[in-house]
Homo-oligomer: A and B are copies of this chain.
Amino acid sequence: MQTGFHALFIPGPTNMPDRLRRAMDVPLEDHRAPDFPEFSLPLFRDLKQVFKTGSGEVFLFPASGTGGWEAAMTNTLSPGDTVLSAIFGQFSHLWSELCRRQGLRVEAVEVPWGEGVPLDIYRRKLEADKDRKIKAVLVCHNETATGVTSDVAAVREILDDIEHPALLMVDGVSSIASIDFCMDEWGVDLAVCGSQKGFMLPAGLAIVAASQKALEAGRKANCPRCFFDFEDMLCLNRDGYFPYTPATTLLRGLRESLDMLAEEGLENVFARHHRLAEGVRRAVAAWGLDLCAKGPEWHSDTISAVVVPESFNSDELVRHAYERYRLSLGLGLWKVKGRVFRVGHLGWVNELMLLQALSGCEMAMRDIGIQIEAGSGVAAAQEFYRGAMADPVRLRQAAE
């Protein structure tokens, strides 16, 4: 029997706060009750604040992020439509694959893993698209497989610059609610998120936001859809109900999650993720190892993918950490299988939790023979964390 709490540092599902656990420990309820809308309507209102959209609509499907992608594509496009995408990790790849399955033509740009959306190539492709065949431009905001964050605003600038009418679609699964995301300001038309990352909930909700332009496009879109249909949802959501049985337990959790995000303050949430991520990066540097992300401009504040030295297999490391130290790290996927291990540092995390994860990484690496110095990463992160909040004002705030 293994003892003590299991340490969960995969890139999602994330650690769930006790408040959320309690919020979901409820009897089942009548989703057609007369007072149900008093609960459900504010959910939509408050989710818009997290997406930073005033004019968009938010949808809540009982599904996963993959279902959110499917909803985004089938509600706004028609078979044969072209989408522009860039592939630089498992998840940007899968999204493009899903588009193909739905009958879309995918113009996919292959990018080295460790980089993100190639702005210059996107610009060239879009400029070259004189006939405006490209109906949607896909941006994986935060590639969960490599720990790479792309610049969504810059893609919007390109589209505006050349007056390209394509929809801007963003996979924000591992960014939204953890890294700043400005739907309206960045002119995002479709944003996809799930419950199990920044919202700190179990998997089971696909959270999708659509701009008015996207909804407008949807009226002509004829990809078949039913379970994921925006119109059916809107029609009943307006009054606080759902076209089929909603996952009320998760909605109760979402209510509490939104309250917690608001209490901490979204900007504080983002600052915290940045600070915690920076400590992990200091630790990686102290170990003398590299991140998968090929430069600070790509650094993700939610996931760090760490490259193991040539002669080692990261699968073995992850397995050993799990079995020997009750520590869950993310595996390397597909092209970086065996080459990286991933530390998730998003959601309900703090300094001591990450120092725990780093201690586990250190022991596991040394156990399989990777030559890093014991305690070196931990010390570097400790020193950064101590300093990062060292000014008295923040110290006082932290104590509150």
Where the two chains meet, the residues of A that have a C-beta atom closer than 8 Å to any C-beta of B are 1-8, 10, 12-16, 18, 21-34, 61-67, 69-70, 79, 97-98, 101-103, 194, 196, 202-204, 223-229, 243-250, 260, 263-264, 272, 319, 322-328, 330-331, 348-353, 355-356, 359-360, 362-363, 366-367, 373-376, 378-380, 382-383, 385-386, 389, 395, 398-400
What residues of B have a CB within 8 angstroms of the CB of A353 in the complex?
Answer: 4-5, 356
Bound: A318/B65 CA distance, A: 36
User: In the complex, which residues of chain B have a beta carbon less than 8 angstroms from the beta carbon of A34?
Assistant: 319, 322-323
Q: B202 and A352: CB pair below 8 A?
A: no
Known: A63-B227, A67-B63, A348-B5. A33 touches B322 (CB 8 A): yes
Say how many copies of this protein the assembly contains.
4
Known: A4-B349, A27-B6. A385 touches B399 (CB 8 A): no
With a cutoff of 8 Å between Cβ atoms, the chain B residues found around residue A245 in the complex are 12-13, 64-65, 194, 196, 203
Q: What's the nearest-Cβ distance from chain B to residue A123, in Å? A: 29
Q: Is A379 a contact partner of B374 (Cβ separation < 8 A)?
A: yes
Q: Give bound CA distance, A331 to B36, whole Å.
A: 14
**Contacts beyond the supplied A62-B63, A352-B360: 17 A-B pairs with Cβ under 8 Å:** A1-B263, A2-B350, A10-B30, A13-B28, A13-B248, A22-B22, A29-B328, A34-B323, A63-B63, A64-B246, A70-B226, A196-B245, A202-B247, A324-B389, A367-B386, A375-B380, A376-B379
**Is there contact, CB below 8 Å, between B348 and A352?**
no
Q: Would you call B2 and A29 a contact (CB within 8 A)?
A: no
Taking CB atoms, residues of chain B closer than 8 Å to A33 are 322, 328
Contact B25 A102 (CB under 8 A): no
- Taken together as a complex, chains A and B put the C-alpha atoms of A135 and B330 apart, in Å, by 44
- Residues of chain B within 8 A of A65, CB atoms compared: 244-245
Residues of chain B lying within 8 A (CB to CB) of residue A225? 101
**Residues of chain B with a CB closer than 8 A to A22's CB:** 22-23, 25-26
Task: Give the complex CA separation of A390 and B21 in angstroms.
Answer: 36
Report the 6 A-B pairs with minimum CB-CB distance, sorted nearest first: A375-B379, A4-B350, A375-B375, A356-B356, A13-B28, A323-B399
Given contact pairs A324-B399, A355-B359, A15 touches B30 in the complex (Cβ within 8 A): no
14 contacts between A and B (CB under 8 A): A1-B260, A7-B352, A12-B245, A28-B196, A30-B328, A32-B331, A65-B244, A202-B247, A323-B398, A324-B395, A324-B398, A326-B350, A359-B382, A373-B379
Select one of B6, B62, B98, B349 contacting A226, CB under 8 A: B98
Q: Which residue of B lies closest to A104 (CB)?
A: B224
The smallest C-beta distance from A273 to any residue of chain B, in angstroms, reads 10
- Cα separation A26 to B18 with both chains bound (whole Å): 7
